[in-house]
Amino acid sequence: MAERIIDEHIGKLGYGNMRLPKTEDGKIDIETINKMIDRYLESGYSYFDTAYIYQGSEDVLGECLVKRHPRESFNIATKMNLANVKSAEEMPIQIETSLKRLCTDYVDFYLIHGLTKETIKKANDFDAWGYLQKLKADGIARHIGFSFHSTPEDLEEILAHHPEVEFVQLQINYLDWDNPKVQSRRLYEIARKYDKLVSIMEPNKGGWLAGEKSEAGMMLKKANPDASVASWAFRYVLELDGLLTVLSGMGNMTELEDNIKTFQNFKPLSKEEHALIDKAVDILNNTPSIPCTRCGYCFPNCPKNIMIPGYIGILNNYLIYKNIDPLQHIYFMLSGEGGQAEDCIGCGACERNCPQHLEISSLMRQVTDLVKNGEPAE
Ligand code: SF4
Ligand code: SF4
């Protein structure tokens, strides 16, 4: 299976396109994206990850990648999101739209996006599995798989019944490896037991592990001033075998260059470095912050159109930096894009889709109190 899927185009560093670089006036920064894509390809990498629901992402890849580089020189992975699909007949709409946006007539990797208990049921009811196989037989998807946010038991069940799946995309990083909710270690071990290649998402937990001002970040920086804090997280996951790719959402050229440096000069972590990571995990687990990855699965279902991850970000900034000054400004900027945190009616629609199992309605109350009273509610 590995021989079928890994060809000379695939390197370990995968280019995540969930969050795109923006200019100061908030527009997508096409010039920077073009430069970053060129630099990434020149460095010998070729895996671009996007999704039907990543706003503007497929269109940008169509313009900046597909129209500017030979099609055989890169791989595109995109995803079908079942959360909003109401019947089996609706499934083709997404790949047809994705191909149009991407300016191509096939994708290299096609995934069912972010399987949760709810979407696993839909995948079975709508036979999304058979649909993926048809796309592959028709040459529209070269390889098929899924990204996953449910339990090890659910993963085992799917892989036992669907040998046609070629790879699995999992959330793996040093903070989640033994986290009892996410259970990255068990998920990874099950995927490998079924001989599936693993594509890693959130190796830095949505950038969370890359911060250099937290207590854990400062400790890692002190241990190796020449290495970015982010590089520790990449080295941690790069030690695993059976990897298809490790996705990194890179917001600027500095991050891209840092990643290239880490991946091209990869050195396994020493025993002492592993001990430091264990210590970082302890510190982070004991820092009162909210492990939101900013994946955005919550807010499409919010009846009040609240930009949930943005508001949770406000709370986290406060919890980590204890600085109230910039928060009101960010709060009102976010209000311009949708409802305010204080508009939350506690319906729970967001919480059912949160891979991190966050109690979002309670967080909205806390951020409201923080901005109005200077400290979050208990
Ligand atoms: S609980 Fe609040 S934030 Fe979540 S979907 Fe309902 S209104 Fe929106
Ligand atoms: S609250 Fe949950 S679903 Fe929403 S962005 Fe954060 S991690 Fe994702």
Q: Is 295 in the pocket of ligand 2 (CB under 6 A)?
A: yes
pLDDT digits (tens, 9 = 90+) for 42-90: 999 999 999 999 989 999 999 999 999 999 999 999 999 998 899 999 9
376: its two tokens:
């979050």
Q: Evaluate if residue 320 carries a pLDDT over 70.
A: no
Burial 255-274 (b: 16+ CB within 10 A, else e): bbebbbebbeeeeebeeebe
Contacts of 309 (CB under 8 A, 6+ apart): 292, 294, 295, 296, 298, 299
For residue 326, give the 3-state DSSP assignment: coil
Q: Note the pLDDT of residue 314.
A: 86
Separation of CA 119 and ligand 2 centre (Å):
17
What percentage of the chain exceeds 90 in pLDDT?
A: 73
CA–CA distance, 151 with 87 (Å, rounded to integer)? 25
Atom 3 (ligand 2) nearest CA: 354
pLDDT digits (tens, 9 = 90+) for 267-305: 999 999 999 999 999 988 887 789 898 898 998 889 999
pLDDT digits (tens, 9 = 90+) for 186-213: 999 999 999 999 999 999 887 778 878 7
Could you tell me the residue ranges of all domains in the chain?
A: 2-285, 299-373
Separation of CA 351 and ligand 2 centre (Å):
8
pLDDT digits (tens, 9 = 90+) for 114-140: 999 999 999 999 999 999 999 999 999
Contacts of 77 (CB under 8 A, 6+ apart): 14, 47, 48, 49, 50, 107, 108, 109, 110, 111, 199
Task: Measure the CA angle with vertex 298, ends 32 and 84; round to 5°.
Answer: 95
From 176, 305, 360, 362, the mutation candidate for ligand 2 (largest count of ligand atoms within 8 A of CB) is 360
Is the CATH number of domain 2-285 3.30.70.1140? no
198 contacts 242 by C-beta, under 8 angstroms: yes
Torsion angle of alpha carbons 337, 341, 345, 346, nearest 10°? 120
150: its two tokens:
């449910």
Residue 3 pLDDT grade (very low, low, confident, very high; cuts 50, 70, 90): very low
Please state the pTM of the whole predicted model. 0.81
Separation of CA 297 and ligand 2 centre (Å):
6
Contacts of 65 (CB under 8 A, 6+ apart): 37, 48, 74, 76
23: its two tokens:
């200019």
Residue 9 pLDDT grade (very low, low, confident, very high; cuts 50, 70, 90): very low
12 contacts 243 by C-beta, under 8 angstroms: yes
Residues in a beta bridge with 148:
115
* Smallest-distance ligand from the CA of 302: 1
**DSSP H helical ranges for the chain:** 2-5, 30-42, 57-61, 91-102, 117-125, 128-137, 152-161, 184-193, 215-223, 229-238, 253-264, 271-285, 308-321, 327-335, 360-373
Task: Measure the CA angle with vertex 230, ends 143 and 309; round to 5°.
Answer: 75
Q: What is the DSSP string of 128-169?
A: HHHHHHHHHHTTSEEEEEEEE-S-HHHHHHHHHH-TT--EEE
From 311, 360, 362, 365, the mutation candidate for ligand 1 (largest count of ligand atoms within 8 A of CB) is 360
Atom 6 (ligand 2) nearest CA: 292
219 contacts 225 by C-beta, under 8 angstroms: no
Atom 2 (ligand 2) nearest CA: 354
Separation of CA 302 and ligand 1 centre (Å):
5
Q: Evaluate if residue 321 carries a pLDDT over 60.
A: no
Q: Which atom of ligand 1 is nearest to the CA of 347?
A: 6
* Residues having CB within 6 Å of any atom of ligand 1: 301-304, 306, 308, 344-350, 360-361, 364
Angle between helices 215-223 and 271-285 (to 10 degrees): 170
CA distances from 35 to 39, 47, 107, 347 (A): 6, 16, 23, 43
Q: Is 225 exposed, middle or buried (0-12, 13-18, 19+ CB in 10 A)?
A: exposed
Q: What is the DSSP string of 34-69?
A: HHHHHHHHHTT--EEE--TTSTTHHHHHIIIIITTS
